Amino acid sequence: MNFATSNLSKIAPKFRTSGVISQPRRKAGSSMRDIGNTKAEVVNVVRQEDYLKRLYLILDTNEEEKMRQFAYEEIRKILIQRGEWTL
């Protein structure tokens, strides 16, 4: 085969740097490493019982369907976790 006259000599080599080369370098480590860190002076943790009361209040009084659906799903998760969910 004569490479001077064949189509193979016309194929341009593709460099490994072609494509997206301007991506920033990734930092090592987990992006989750700062979870739980806060600069707040006071942090109030809501007890699950109080959270459930708020969710029931949202379910009963809120007219927005997405908010009611969220409250229903959260209540369901908590009750399943406690073993209190019945169909």
78 within some domain: yes
Q: What is the pLDDT of residues 1-50, one digit of tens each?
A: 566 666 666 666 665 555 555 556 666 666 777 777 778 888 888 999 99
Q: What is the pLDDT of residues 55-69, one digit of tens each?
A: 999 999 999 999 999
pLDDT, position 20: 57
32 within some domain: no
23 within some domain: no
58 within some domain: yes
Task: Give the structural domain span for 63.
Answer: 43-87
76 within some domain: yes
Give the number of domains in the chain.
1
- Amino acid letter, residue 3: F
73 within some domain: yes
49 within some domain: yes
**pTM beyond cutoff 0.85:** no
* Residue 58 to residues 48, 53, 61, Cα–Cα distance (Å): 15, 9, 5
55 within some domain: yes
